[in-house]
Amino acid sequence: MNKLFAIKIIMALLVTQFLGSCEQSFDQPDIQNNPNAVTDVNVATLLAGTELGVSMLHEDTDVRIASMWAGELAGLSRAHQGFGQYIVSSQSFSWNVLYPVASQARLIQVKADALGDKWTKGVGQVLEALVIAKATSLYGDVPYSQAFDETNYPTPAFDKQADIYKALQTTLDNAIINLSTPSGLAFAQQDFLYKGNVAKWKAAANTLKARLYLHTAEYENAISSAAKGIKSKDGDMLIPHGTSLGVDLNQNYDFFRVNRAGDTGFDGAYLPKLMQSRIASGNTKTDETALYNYYFKTGIIAPGSLDANTTDGAFMANSPHPILTYYENELIIAEAQARRNATSESLVALNAVRAGLAGGYLNGATIASTGRKYEPYTLNDFSATGIANPTRAATVQLALLNDIIAQRYIVFLMQYEAFNDYRRLATATPIVQLPIPLYVGSRKPQRFIYPQSEIATNPNVPTPLPDQFTNVPIF
């Protein structure tokens, strides 16, 4: 990542200044009045640092916990063994990066307004929405509407999750308006996600809107937004990485191979079992062996262990990591159309993803050609005896949904959206779920629990405090 070391220093300074509960970190007047705060960072530098923060939040411990709770990854040792067994406390989670990064995204907008810069403001709004969407999808009710004004709201209210989703749609609508203006200030050098490409930012905003509409089961809106979303692999929002230790390594590589080797792995996880079953299903149009080998490798950490492929696969030091992608966009369309029983339209979107996988593309990399096969499906493949209906679902709609949901689960490895699906699918109609087993006990984890720092400082934290087995309202 070009200039990443300098960006990390900037972001470290920014985050350090805003550690603490969210009401302290979101306040623009306080930022200006705090003698220790970073206030003179120009908007371009602030943009680069905030993108770094957003990138960190898509590869952090929270994402690993979400992956474990979705059954994709197994916790094997130390704290991650406990996480994998759903054992967490209020000390397990922190907003000390999440809300400061959201604060910087809002500050970008303030500084862009002062410059009359609509494009950069729009990018700031997309970044803000990405952070708050993560917060509310994982925690449920969180501060948002009052969180930027400490003078009037020193202990901000926790907004209802449904209201936050509506507010995020408005934030993204405003971002799209700003990104649609005919001219703005160039920001390519500071934008390591899209190199200043305003059209790509606009498409990403629409894909994020579609994701949120899928969460709220507003399928027509999801389809409409995705139609304006990321429409090719060139539009993927990917975090670039390099090979310099402590500078630009992929955080998954750093975790799996360098700092916490053996804390997690894929032995006993559901994802490799699902992929193995699909490979052995007799589906003559599909072979996911190459993708399986791209994700997993045996014996890296210990003899016989099934590990993240950090040598020549998805989790190398310089592997890009996804935030929003063309595949997600098309799979949103595929699922939403299938839920409307528009199976022909759904199949078009699913086959678009299969065409991309057939070409070997995934998250900025190319998968080996041996063991890679994704021929286009026909609706007959999802009939009662079809090759794409191994569970013998009663209808084409249900069989198609099952394949779409499985494909989402597979391409969402090490993305917290897999955990969102895990919970969302329990109530989405018609109900189609993957048989993801519980690691322990009889209850499925449903949410992250509020951090102790927030409980101690904000009397508006919901009471009684929900535990990790309490559903969030939206799901």
Per-residue pLDDT of 260-292, as tens digits, reads 999 999 999 999 999 999 999 999 999 999 999
Banded pLDDT at 470 (limits 50, 70, 90): very high
Q: Is residue 205 in some structural domain?
A: no
Q: Is residue 319 in some structural domain?
A: yes
Please state the rounded mean pLDDT for residues 212-233: 98
Assess whether 67 and 126 both reside in one domain: yes
Question: How many domains, in total, are found in the chain?
Answer: 2
Assess whether 293 and 167 both reside in one domain: no
Assess whether 424 and 468 both reside in one domain: no
Assess whether 449 and 345 both reside in one domain: no
Q: What range does the domain containing 368 cover?
A: 217-252+265-436
Sign of CA dihedral 137, 139, 145, 149: negative
Query: CATH number of the domain that 18 lies in?
Result: 1.25.40.390
Mean pLDDT of all residues in the chain?
A: 91
Neighbouring residues of 211: CB distance < 8 A, sequence distance ≥ 6: 133, 222, 324, 328, 332, 417
Over residues 293-345, the pLDDT tens digits come to 999 999 999 999 999 999 999 999 999 999 999 999 999 999 999 999 999 99
Over residues 88-105, the pLDDT tens digits come to 999 999 999 999 999 999
Q: Is residue 204 in some structural domain?
A: no
pTM of the complete model beyond 0.85: yes
Gap between the Cα atoms of 409 and 274, Å rounded: 10
pLDDT given at position 41: 81
Assess whether 23 and 171 both reside in one domain: yes
How far are the Cα atoms of 1, 31, 313, 321, 403 from residue 250, in angstroms, in the given order?
10, 31, 12, 7, 30
HSE-CB of 381 using CA atoms within 13 angstroms: 20
Burial class (CB in 10 A: 0-12, 13-18, 19+), 459: exposed
Q: What spatial distance separates the first Cα and last Cα of the chain, rounded to whole Å? A: 37
Gap between the Cα atoms of 315 and 318, Å rounded: 8
Question: Do 377 and 435 form a contact (C-beta atoms < 8 A)?
Answer: no
SS3 238: strand
Assess whether 177 and 279 both reside in one domain: no
Q: Is residue 61 in some structural domain?
A: yes
Assess whether 144 and 95 both reside in one domain: yes
pLDDT given at position 231: 98
Gap between the Cα atoms of 245 and 253, Å rounded: 10
Composition of the chain by helix, strand, coil, percent to 5: 50, 5, 45
Q: Is residue 408 in some structural domain?
A: yes
Beta strands in 261-386 (DSSP E): 264-265, 286-287, 296-298, 306-308, 321-324, 361-362, 365-366, 373-374
pLDDT given at position 149: 80
Nearest to 43, CA basis, from 128, 120, 125, 129: 120
Banded pLDDT at 5 (limits 50, 70, 90): very low
Assess whether 446 and 395 both reside in one domain: no
Burial class (CB in 10 A: 0-12, 13-18, 19+), 429: exposed
Assess whether 404 and 271 both reside in one domain: yes
Q: Is residue 209 in some structural domain?
A: no
Q: Which range (136-150, 227-241, 459-473) has the least confidence?
A: 136-150
Q: What percent of the chain has pLDDT over 90?
A: 87
Assess whether 126 and 246 both reside in one domain: no
Q: Is residue 170 in some structural domain?
A: yes
Please state the rounded mean pLDDT for residues 119-124: 96
pLDDT given at position 40: 63
Q: What percent of the chain has pLDDT over 70?
A: 92
pLDDT above 80 for 69: yes
Over residues 24-68, the pLDDT tens digits come to 333 333 333 333 344 568 898 999 999 999 999 999 999 999 999
Assess whether 59 and 152 both reside in one domain: yes
Assess whether 13 and 57 both reside in one domain: yes
